[in-house]
Amino acid sequence: MRRLLAALALGAATVLAYAQFPQKPVRMIIGLGAGGVADGMTRSITDKITPALGQPFVLENRPGAGGNIAIEAVAKAPADGHVLLLIGPALVINPALYPTMPVDPLKDLAPVTTIAIAPFALFASATLPVTNVGELIALARSRPRKMNYASVGAGTAGHLAAVMFGAAAGLELTHIAYRSIQLAIPDLVQGEVQFVFNAYPPLAPMAQAGKLKLLGFSSPRRLKAHPEISTLSESGLPGFEAGGWYMVLAPAATPRDVMARLNAEFTRALGQSDVGASLEKMGFEAAPMTLQESERFVAREAEKWSRSVKLSGAKAD
């Protein structure tokens, strides 16, 4: 009888939580610095959700420790849907990269939905005598350990994508880390560093100016915006897929009905044409998922990126 009463009480509490949500502004903690793509992306989406919820979203940037500061803040927040996290692959990379974590993001957070996905673009220096991915692989095989690739730091998604590329193609490559992609550009242009996996928009002007070569995308299919550019998967590396994404998460104990409400509102907003167009300008595609699909996505990404971290040997201080 006690178990039945407890179950009824829990069910009533869940219904009440859903009925009363939200009671105040929703804090969206972003695990990146202010002024970047994530801020604009988040604002364009949450502005569409605010009227339906009747409460505004307050964006709060919490950069630092590779995203762990933001992860911890949300994992330890009240589990009522009023504090959410926006983060990218650091969510699944950090548990393999850091010797210790303040929380376990895969257990202490629950995915609401992915909101946007973007493949990496493979850019090569225009000084290289290659015109496609296959030729780059052939050249790298002929120069073991003499082909350099850039990244914005050990253990970052761009670094680990190149590690996946090297492993898939059987290459011996040398990693050169920079503080930012802007600092890497001169060496890429001059051929001191031969290639990089990076988001498309920041380096697109260099490719359009003929200073870099866009060889391929790490997407499962060709992009609508660039149907003439092959994927790595169809360029001799079947199944190769690695890219950036953004996801919204809540504390793990957040009532399921509240999670379902949030998921429905984000899905509705992401389905609006102007939001999709805004994301495309940033190099992303809207990618709403159900709660179950989001959980499976996180599990797949965690397995893939943690394997790459192990291959790279990278460790965070």
Residue range 271-317, pLDDT digits in tens: 999 999 999 888 899 999 999 999 999 999 999 999 999 999 999 87
- pLDDT of residue 15 exceeding 80, the answer is no
Mean pLDDT of 70-92: 97
Q: Rounded CA gap, 111 and 195, in Å?
A: 34
Mean pLDDT of 43-61: 96
Contacts 24+ apart (CB under 8 A), 297-302: 297/111, 297/114, 297/247, 298/91, 298/92, 298/106, 298/111, 298/247, 301/89, 301/92, 301/245, 302/92, 302/95, 302/106
Query: What domains are defined for the chain?
Result: 24-115+245-305 (3.40.190.150), 121-217 (3.40.190.10)
Q: How far is CA 144 from CA 129, 162, 170, 172, in A?
A: 16, 15, 10, 5
CA-closest candidate to residue 57, choices 262, 196, 205, 282: 262
Q: Which two tokens stand for residue 256?
A: 């399921």
> Can you give the length of the chain in residues?
317
State whether residue 117 is helix, strand or coil: strand
